[in-house]
Amino acid sequence: MREWIDAAVFAIIAATLIRTFIFEAYTIPTPSMEKTLLVNDFLFVSKISYGPRVPMTPLAVPFTHHTLPFTKYTKAYSEAVQWKYRRWWGFSDIKRNDVVVFNFPEGDTVALNQQDASYYGLVRAFGREKVWDSLGPVTSRPVDKRENYIKRCIAIAGDSVYAINAVVYVNGQPAEVPPKSQHYYSVYAPNGGLNLSTLEDMGIEGGRGGDGSSAIYNLTKDNVTELQALKQAVTSVQPYIPNGPGQGASNDLLYPFVDSLNWNKDNFGPIYVPKKGATVKLDSMSINFYRRAIAIYEGNKLEERNGQFYINGQHATEYTFKMDYYWMMGDNRDNSLDSRYWGFVPEDHVVGKAWLIWMSYGNNGIRWSRLFRTIH
User: Rounded mean pLDDT of 7-17?
Assistant: 93
Which CATH class for the 183-239 domain? alpha beta
According to the model, what pLDDT value does residue 178 have? 93
Q: Is residue 195 pLDDT above 80, yes or no? A: no
Sign of CA dihedral 289, 149, 373, 369: negative
At the topology level, CATH places domain 2-176+326-374 in: Umud Fragment, subunit A (2.10.109)
User: Rounded mean pLDDT of 201-224?
Assistant: 82
According to the model, what pLDDT value does residue 215 have? 86
- Per DSSP, the three-state class of 284 is coil
According to the model, what pLDDT value does residue 198 have? 79
Q: Is residue 239 pLDDT above 80, yes or no? A: yes
- The overall average pLDDT reported for the chain is 93
Q: How many CB atoms lie within 10 A of CB 179?
A: 12
According to the model, what pLDDT value does residue 339 have? 97
Q: What is the pLDDT of residues 59-79, one digit of tens each?
A: 999 999 999 999 989 999 999
According to the model, what pLDDT value does residue 211 have? 59
According to the model, what pLDDT value does residue 116 have? 87
Residues in the chain: 376
According to the model, what pLDDT value does residue 194 have? 74
According to the model, what pLDDT value does residue 77 have? 97
Global confidence as pTM: 0.93
- Per DSSP, the three-state class of 289 is helix
Report residue 106 CA to chain centroid gap.
Answer: 11
According to the model, what pLDDT value does residue 250 have? 59
Q: What is the pLDDT of residues 136-171, one digit of tens each?
A: 899 999 999 999 999 999 999 999 999 999 999 999
Residue with more model confidence, 94 or 362: 94
Residue with more model confidence, 28 or 72: 28
According to the model, what pLDDT value does residue 221 have? 93
Sign of CA dihedral 166, 167, 171, 177: positive
- Region of 269 on the Ramachandran plot (φ > 0 left; ψ -120 to 50 alpha; else beta): left
Q: What is the pLDDT of residues 122-135, one digit of tens each?
A: 998 899 999 999 99
Q: Is residue 43 pLDDT above 80, yes or no? A: yes
Q: Is residue 192 pLDDT above 70, yes or no? A: no
Task: Convert 102-136 to b/e letters by CB count within 10 Å (16 or more is b).
Answer: bbbbbbbbbbeebeebbbbbbbeeeeeeebeeebe
Q: CA-CA distance, 348 to 346, in Å (whole number)?
A: 5
Cβ atoms 360, 369 nearer than 8 A: no
Using 50, 70 and 90 to split pLDDT, how confident is the model at 174?
very high
**Best CA proximity match to 26, nearest among 375, 312, 364, 296:** 375
Residue with more model confidence, 146 or 248: 146
**Best CA proximity match to 115, nearest among 68, 151, 147, 79:** 147
According to the model, what pLDDT value does residue 252 have? 61
Q: CA-CA distance, 141 to 148, in Å (whole number)?
A: 12
- Per DSSP, the three-state class of 221 is helix
Q: CA-CA distance, 305 to 315, in Å (whole number)?
A: 10
Cβ atoms 142, 57 nearer than 8 A: yes
Q: Is residue 80 pLDDT above 90, yes or no? A: yes
Q: What is the pLDDT of residues 333-363, one digit of tens each?
A: 999 999 999 999 999 999 999 999 999 999 8
Q: CA-CA distance, 33 to 38, in Å (whole number)?
A: 7
Q: CA-CA distance, 321 to 335, in Å (whole number)?
A: 31
Q: What is the pLDDT of residues 289-325, one digit of tens each?
A: 999 999 999 999 999 999 899 999 999 999 999 999 9
According to the model, what pLDDT value does residue 210 have? 61
Q: Is residue 193 pLDDT above 70, yes or no? A: no
Phi and psi at residue 250, to the nearest 5°: -65, -25
In degrees, rounded to 5, the angle at the alpha carbon of residue 25 between the alpha carbons of residues 23 and 27 is 145
What does the domain layout of the chain look like in residue ranges? Answer: 2-176+326-374, 183-239, 279-320
Give me the torsion for CA of 293, 297, 298, 303, rounded to 10°: 60
Q: CA-CA distance, 8 to 353, in Å (whole number)?
A: 29
Q: Is residue 251 pLDDT above 70, yes or no? A: no
According to the model, what pLDDT value does residue 212 have? 59
Cβ atoms 267, 249 nearer than 8 A: no
According to the model, what pLDDT value does residue 196 have? 76
According to the model, what pLDDT value does residue 197 have? 78
Cβ atoms 170, 328 nearer than 8 A: no
